[in-house]
Structure 1
Amino acid sequence: MSSAALNLTSQVLDLAQALPLDGGQQLDGVQVAYETVGRLNPDKSNAILVFHALTMDQHIVSPHPKTGKPGWWAKSVGPGNVIDTDRFFVICANVLGGCMGSTGPASLASDGQPYAMRFPVITIRDMVRAQVALLDALGIDQLHAVVGGSMGGMQALSFAANWPQRTRAVLVIASTARHSAQNIAFHEVGRQAIMADPKWSGGDYYGGKGPDNGLAVARMAAHITYLSEEGMHEKFGRKLQDRSAKTFGFDADFQVESYLRHQGLSFTDRFDANSYLYITRAMDYFDLAEEHGGRLAAAFAGCTARFCLVSFDTDWLYPTPESRTIAHALNAAGAPVSFVELSAPFGHDSFLLDVPALDRVIAGFLGQ
């Protein structure tokens, strides 16, 4: 379908004012790259802001400019789709710290050189703060809904907690209110892999060859957490890759090894290693209860929106008890909330794949 038929636009907004950050600094000259799909109605009441996950970007529907692959949620967003753009105006922005047009480590600082590791450490709330500025620029005071899976779900929760009057509904899929020690540990393995790559050069690799080997290993380690044991066994088992016998060496003998190597190498074509460091650190710092006096229910004290929480039975990255904890906090705060655990064999990545039950939940909740 053509961009015109989708009413699709891709733009970059220059924020008029400096962006204050949780770390105590402020960032000047911030740009927010975003994509919109559908038409905003006259009273601007039909807008849905979709927050993307760690390795995604604003290209929710349009083909990715570097890989040519379809938009990461094109199966769900569009005319007549689960998020129906004949009815809704969908906005998706590349997060602050990203590498697809929004200001991040690869962006030029005031001296004309890339920020690299001079870029300030950011938080999930900082990412959302930049997107609230985007809504202000678009003249949208209140959204029909915010929607997010994984890191996108963290942003949706942060939006609801810190800007409670700006949305009427909040849909959080396969996410959490804080990063666990295990989550932090996996991210630290990835960061150390990047920083151990000699080509990382302390983050000053722009204009030359970057730490592709380290970034590929980081992606491989993270990707394992996105899958389920059941799904990996069903897809790969112990099958060999293009051979009838083991090589008794360290080539990719097994299909699962070849798959992970492909995932790692292809990731380096579209993602910046420094962005990976900054975004994973933001996720690790995320603790919504800590931001609100140590009590999660207090984060939602001013919320009037409807909430829907979705988890998957095979997701061990953000398992169902994480969502149940959020549901209990919302109940304690008196916020209207529905919660469902769905069965899917795909693990954490289920929200990106073909799960008809999820489609029904999204369509039913947003259609209310």
Structure 2
Amino acid sequence: MATAHTIDPTQVLTLDEPLTLDSGQTLPLVEIAYETHGCLNAAKDNAILICHALTGDHHVVSDHPLTGKPGWWVRMVGPGKPIDTDRYFIICANVIGSCMGSTGPASLAPDGEPWAMRFPVITIRDMVRGHVALLDSLGIDTLHAVVGGSMGGMQTLSLAANFPERARAVLVLASTARHSAQNIGFHELGRQAIMADNSWREGDYYGFEDSPEKGLAVARMAAHITYLSEEGLTKKFGRRLQDRSEKTFGFDADFQIESYLRYQGISFSNRFDANSYLYITRAMDYFDLAEEHGGRLANAFRRSRARFCLVSFDTDWLYPTSASRNVVQALNAAGKPVSFVELSAPYGHDSFLLDVPALDRVVAGFLG
């Protein structure tokens, strides 16, 4: 039986002007890959910007061109779904620094060679600057809403703080206003795994037959553990052996969880660029919305006219409920309308991507 696949709807915007970054450097020749779904109305006031997470991309609904897998949020976005494409014009852009069409370390620099580690270090706010440039090109002054989970949630908060006139509603899922020492530590583990791979070549591996796939796979394995919960891992894998009845007394993947993590690492290294992983994790580590606004988080939201909704999950230990409560308290201090809910789900941090019916109801209700 034939399988239907969505044609890749990727569009690419080339910015007219260089992009000035938080580092003080300027990024020339900026391209932003994005996709849209639904129809923009005449008033251009029904647009929703969806911001993706660290390992995500703009293929929020369409099939991934490399893996063939459905879009990463196809359960949430579409006709009649919580983010309803019959009502809203959906925009999802690949962040700068990534490797799925937007300008990043693998892109060509003005000299015609890949940027590699010459690419300037970027921040979450720089990513949002790219999003705002895209909105300007589409003629959209104010979004109906901006929505994001994990790193996508950081982008939504940054947009609300730094471009307060650009969104009427802000929906933040399983996210935080700053990266903790533990978060930074896990990212550093991943970066060191990549840089310790002999094939990394100080970042100049483009054009060679081999790339730092092993290091990137280990980075992905370490990170993937943080996206899950002990409850979920125990239920799904426990201490069950993988395709065998006895332990091998060696270092093969005896346990199902070992085999699963190795698969996750290998499949990720086949679709993602190692240098992009370095740059994006560094951007997340630098993220501290209070630091950007005089050391007080409430100051970040003083000028916002949006209403906010924050959602956390009880098994998420990467960005726990306390991180969302910290943002809610800051919004309250700033006198902004905010709702908050902690949902129960066994999936850990990844709960915002998985089948949690209560989240569907929250999203649909908030977007109204």
| TM-score normalised by structure 2 residue count | 0.98
Corresponding position: 1:133 with 2:133: yes
Which whole-Å CA distance do the structure 2 matches of 1:71 and 1:358 have between them?
18
1:39-69 deviation per Cα after TM superposition (whole angstroms, max 9, x unaligned): 0001100000000000000000000000000
Deviation at 1:10, TM superposition (A): 2.0
Corresponding position: 1:212 with 2:201: no
Percent of aligned pairs with the same amino acid: 76
**Uncovered stretches (5+) of structure 2, i.e. residues with no partner:** none
1:128-167 matches, within 5 Å, as 128-167=128-167
- Aligned amino acid, residue 57 of structure 1: D
Please name the residue that 1:326 is paired with. Answer: 327
Q: Say whether the 8 Å CA contact 2:9–2:62 is kept in structure 1.
A: no
- Aligned amino acid, residue 359 of structure 1: D
Which whole-Å CA distance do the structure 1 matches of 2:293 and 2:240 have between them?
49
Please name the residue that 1:32 is paired with. Answer: 32
Corresponding position: 1:18 with 2:18: yes
Deviation at 1:2, TM superposition (A): 7.3
Q: Secondary structure at the match of 2:271?
A: coil
1:165-196 deviation per Cα after TM superposition (whole angstroms, max 9, x unaligned): 11100000000000000000000000000000
1:134-173 deviation per Cα after TM superposition (whole angstroms, max 9, x unaligned): 0000000000000000000000000000000111000000
Please name the residue that 1:282 is paired with. Answer: 283
- Aligned amino acid, residue 128 of structure 2: V
Q: Say whether the 8 Å CA contact 2:5–2:63 is kept in structure 1.
A: no
Q: Say whether the 8 Å CA contact 2:191–2:278 is kept in structure 1.
A: yes
Q: Say whether the 8 Å CA contact 2:217–2:262 is kept in structure 1.
A: yes
1:260-339 matches, within 5 Å, as 260-339=261-340
Corresponding position: 1:363 with 2:364: yes
Please name the residue that 1:345 is paired with. Answer: 346
Deviation at 1:9, TM superposition (A): 3.6
1:330-358 deviation per Cα after TM superposition (whole angstroms, max 9, x unaligned): 00001100000000000000000000000
Q: Secondary structure at the match of 1:12?
A: strand
1:244-259 matches, within 5 Å, as 244-259=245-260
Please name the residue that 2:189 is paired with. Answer: 189
| TM-score normalised by structure 1 residue count | 0.98
Deviation at 1:207, TM superposition (A): 1.2
1:44-63 matches, within 5 Å, as 44-63=44-63
Which whole-Å CA distance do the structure 2 matches of 1:46 and 1:270 have between them?
33
1:58-104 deviation per Cα after TM superposition (whole angstroms, max 9, x unaligned): 00000000000000001110111110000000000000100000000
Which whole-Å CA distance do the structure 2 matches of 1:3 and 1:237 have between them?
36
Q: Say whether the 8 Å CA contact 2:18–2:27 is kept in structure 1.
A: yes
Q: Secondary structure at the match of 2:165?
A: helix
- Aligned amino acid, residue 361 of structure 1: V
Which whole-Å CA distance do the structure 2 matches of 1:127 and 1:359 have between them?
27
Which whole-Å CA distance do the structure 2 matches of 1:3 and 1:146 have between them?
24
Which whole-Å CA distance do the structure 2 matches of 1:26 and 1:362 have between them?
37
Please name the residue that 1:354 is paired with. Answer: 355
Structure 1 runs (4+) deviating above 2 angstroms are 1-4
Which whole-Å CA distance do the structure 2 matches of 1:118 and 1:38 have between them?
38
Q: Say whether the 8 Å CA contact 2:171–2:308 is kept in structure 1.
A: yes
Q: Say whether the 8 Å CA contact 2:220–2:268 is kept in structure 1.
A: yes
Which whole-Å CA distance do the structure 1 matches of 2:236 and 2:6 have between them?
35
Q: CA RMSD of the aligned region, Å?
A: 1.0
Which whole-Å CA distance do the structure 1 matches of 2:18 and 2:120 have between them?
13
Which whole-Å CA distance do the structure 2 matches of 1:332 and 1:103 have between them?
38
Change (3 A) 1:232 1:31: same
Which whole-Å CA distance do the structure 1 matches of 2:110 and 2:6 have between them?
35
- Aligned amino acid, residue 291 of structure 1: E
Please name the residue that 2:90 is paired with. Answer: 90
1:240-294 deviation per Cα after TM superposition (whole angstroms, max 9, x unaligned): 0000000000000000000000000000111000000000000000000000000
Which whole-Å CA distance do the structure 2 matches of 1:300 and 1:360 have between them?
26
Q: Say whether the 8 Å CA contact 2:6–2:63 is kept in structure 1.
A: no
Which whole-Å CA distance do the structure 2 matches of 1:265 and 1:21 have between them?
33
Q: Say whether the 8 Å CA contact 2:128–2:155 is kept in structure 1.
A: yes
Which whole-Å CA distance do the structure 2 matches of 1:366 and 1:2 have between them?
29
Please name the residue that 2:172 is paired with. Answer: 172
Which whole-Å CA distance do the structure 2 matches of 1:65 and 1:339 have between them?
36
Which whole-Å CA distance do the structure 2 matches of 1:2 and 1:214 have between them?
32
